[in-house]
């Protein structure tokens, strides 16, 4: 019998390099839905340097911190809450390896292989664990009820059936 994954939510970011190309964003959104993710929330944002430094604060002092913050403030980007069983693992598998040139060699059907440019300009972000996902979702969607979403989602699904 196949193992069922628990219903999860995760944060997905479509970063500025890709967000600058509207038709490609629409293709990515379609790709997300074709992979059975449900988009619970979607925002288009433009960050200040303080916003980027707050979100990426755990990386302060690392060699890539300033470059990453500069990149994330270079233009609009999209933040989404995605839901499905196994959402965290499935989203990370769909976006692929962090480094797009490696993704093109080792995972050519992933989103980073298709749209990413470099290790910094890799077009996507995905939460790496449940605790991280809840923290990141709260950062981008402070009004989203991370404690009550599951019951509400199950109720909404039952109402459609």
- Is 102 marked within a binding site? no
Residue in 31, 99, 125, 157 annotated catalytic = 125
- Is 67 marked within a binding site? no
- Angle, helices 130-140 vs 87-95, to 10°: value is 80
- Is 15 marked within a binding site? yes
CA pair distance 134, 147, nearest whole angstrom: 9
- Is 27 marked within a binding site? no
Residue in the block written with tokens 């944002």: 45
Q: Please list, in sequence order, all residues whose beta carbon lies within 8 angstroms of the beta carbon of residue 151, skipping any fewer than 6 positions away.
A: none
The distance in angstroms from the start CA to the end CA of the chain is 25
- Is 62 marked within a binding site? no
Q: Helix or strand or coil: residue 38?
A: strand
Q: Helix or strand or coil: residue 146?
A: coil
* 146, 131 Cβ separation under 8 angstroms: no
125 included as an active-site residue: yes
- Is 84 marked within a binding site? no
Which residues line the annotated binding site for ATP?
Answer: 15, 64, 92, 98, 112, 122
Annotated binding-site residues read: 15, 64, 92, 98, 112, 122
Active site members: 125
């Amino acid at each position: 019998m196949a193992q069922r994954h628990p219903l999860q939510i995760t944060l997905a970011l479509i970063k500025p390099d890709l967000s600058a190309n509207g038709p490609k964003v629409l293709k990515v959104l379609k790709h997300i839905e074709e992979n059975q993710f449900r988009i619970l929330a979607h925002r288009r944002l433009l960050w200040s340097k303080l916003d980027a430094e707050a979100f990426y604060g755990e990386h302060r002092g690392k060699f890539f911190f300033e470059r990453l913050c500069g990149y994330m403030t270079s233009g609009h980007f999209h933040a989404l809450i995605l839901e499905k069983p196994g959402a965290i693992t499935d989203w990370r598998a769909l976006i692929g390896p962090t480094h797009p040139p490696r993704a093109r060699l080792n995972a050519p059907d992933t989103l980073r292989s298709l749209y990413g440019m470099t290790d910094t300009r890799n077009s996507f972000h995905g939460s790496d664990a449940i605790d991280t996902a809840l923290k990141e979702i709260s950062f981008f969607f402070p009004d989203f009820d991370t404690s009550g979403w599951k019951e509400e989602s199950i109720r909404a699904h039952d109402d459609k059936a």
